[in-house]
Amino acid sequence: MAEIPTAAISRLVTYLRILEQLEAQDVSRTSSSDLAERAGVSAFQVRKDLAYFGRFGTRGMGYTVAILKRELVRVLGLNQTWNVVIVGMGRLGQAIANYPGASDYQFQYAGLFDVSPAIVGQQIRNLTVRHMDDLKTFVAQNKVDMGFLAVPPDRAQDAAQALVSAGVRGILNFAPVVIQPPTEGGAQEISDEWRAVIIENVDFLAGMKRLAFYILNPHLKDAPLTEDTE
Ligand code: NAD
């Protein structure tokens, strides 16, 4: 498969959301120009993004909403259950755990973890917050795939290490720090356990900073991709 820009994956998530909205409105067919208009990109961009993963429509005929939606769900891996732990059950961890939207796509909060005696043992939704000492056993026994990291910045690297050592395959890092694979004794070798882990960062404060920059420099915002700009 050709190398796929990260932005294209973000747009696929947007196209999927639009297809869900169309389905909810009983719209059965769409086109690249319709999707483009709703997503705020060009029709060429839509066709290019979808083309990374195969041929989904018939040229000139557009797409069947249900089929394109099913294909995007498959491409994004949302047709399987993902078991998630949240590490750090303070303000943010609790807000995430209490937000119901994650279960729309088989993301299941299997376990909640913290180190604070004031929080460990608390009941949040239907789960009891556990101590980090139990993380490794829990991840193995419950086939946990992902960890959401919501600990203070100065605890994030250690907590990420605990998740990696426990064997999760992905970390959604909310802490405003860059999680780095450890390089012991200056060695540049990254261990297999770290090499196997995907880390995604979520930071609304960074979004605010980008927003401030683009409000001051609107002409520097990316122009929509068209066939001419290819
Ligand atoms: P908080 O202090 O309310 O909660 C942090 C929790 O982590 C506490 O319950 C603490 O006991 C626990 N903790 C500390 N060390 C731990 C460890 N080693 N293992 C497990 N748990 C541990 O903090 P908060 O306001 O919920 O913020 C959490 C993190 O999220 C911070 O890094 C903050 O900067 C970040 N944040 C990110 C965004 C975003 O958009 N990405 C938004 C808000 C906050």
CATH number at residue 57: 1.10.10.10
Ranges of H-type helices in 40-152? 43-51, 65-75, 91-98, 135-141
pLDDT above 70: residue 33: yes
- The residue from 76, 95, 126 where one domain ends is 76
Q: If you average pLDDT over residues 73-99, what whole number do you get?
A: 95
Closest Cα to atom 31, ligand 1: which residue? 152
pLDDT confidence band for 113 (50 / 70 / 90): very high
Within 10 angstroms of residue 199's Cβ, the number of other Cβ atoms is 18
Q: Tell me whether residue 205 is annotated as binding.
A: no
Is 220 a domain residue? no
Domain that holds residue 33: 6-76
Within 10 angstroms of residue 106's Cβ, the number of other Cβ atoms is 14
Residue 5 has what pLDDT?
A: 85
Q: Are residue 63 and residue 96 in the same domain, yes or no?
A: no
Side chain identity at residue 2, one-letter code: A
Q: Are residue 201 and residue 92 in the same domain, yes or no?
A: yes
Q: Tell me whether residue 130 is annotated as binding.
A: no
pLDDT digits (tens, 9 = 90+) for 163-222: 999 999 999 999 999 999 987 666 678 888 899 999 999 998 888 999 999 999 988 887
Q: If you average pLDDT over residues 114-124, what whole number do you get?
A: 97
- What is the Å distance from ligand 1's center to 196 Cα? 25
Per DSSP, what are the bridge partners of residue 63?
A: 30
pLDDT above 90: residue 63: yes
Q: Are residue 103 and residue 201 in the same domain, yes or no?
A: yes
Contact 203, 174 (CB under 8 A): yes
More confident residue, 182 or 30: 30
Q: Are residue 86 and residue 64 in the same domain, yes or no?
A: no
Output the domain CATH number for residue 93: 3.40.50.720
Mean pLDDT lowest for which of 135-139, 145-149, 221-225? 221-225
Q: Are residue 93 and residue 202 in the same domain, yes or no?
A: yes
- The residue from 50, 76, 102 where one domain ends is 76
pLDDT above 70: residue 46: yes
Q: With the C-alpha atoms ordered 2, 13, 163, 79, is the resulting torsion angle positive or negative?
A: negative
Q: Are residue 125 and residue 33 in the same domain, yes or no?
A: no
Residue 187 has what pLDDT?
A: 60
Contact 13, 76 (CB under 8 A): yes
pLDDT above 60: residue 50: yes
Q: Are residue 92 and residue 204 in the same domain, yes or no?
A: yes
Residue 122 has what pLDDT?
A: 97
Count how many domains the chain has: 2
Q: Which of these, 90, 95, 129, 133, lies nearest to 111 by C-alpha position?
A: 129
Instruction: Kindly give the interhelix angle for 6-24 and 65-75, rounded to the nearest 10 degrees.
Output: 140
Residue 223 has what pLDDT?
A: 66
Closest Cα to atom 2, ligand 1: which residue? 90
113 lines ligand 1 (CB under 6 A): yes
Q: Which of these, 20, 19, 10, 24, lies nearest to 63 by C-alpha position?
A: 19
Q: If you average pLDDT over residues 58-84, what whole number do you get?
A: 91
109 lines ligand 1 (CB under 6 A): no
Residue 106 has what pLDDT?
A: 81
Q: Tell me whether residue 89 is annotated as binding.
A: yes
Q: Are residue 53 and residue 115 in the same domain, yes or no?
A: no
pLDDT confidence band for 30 (50 / 70 / 90): very high
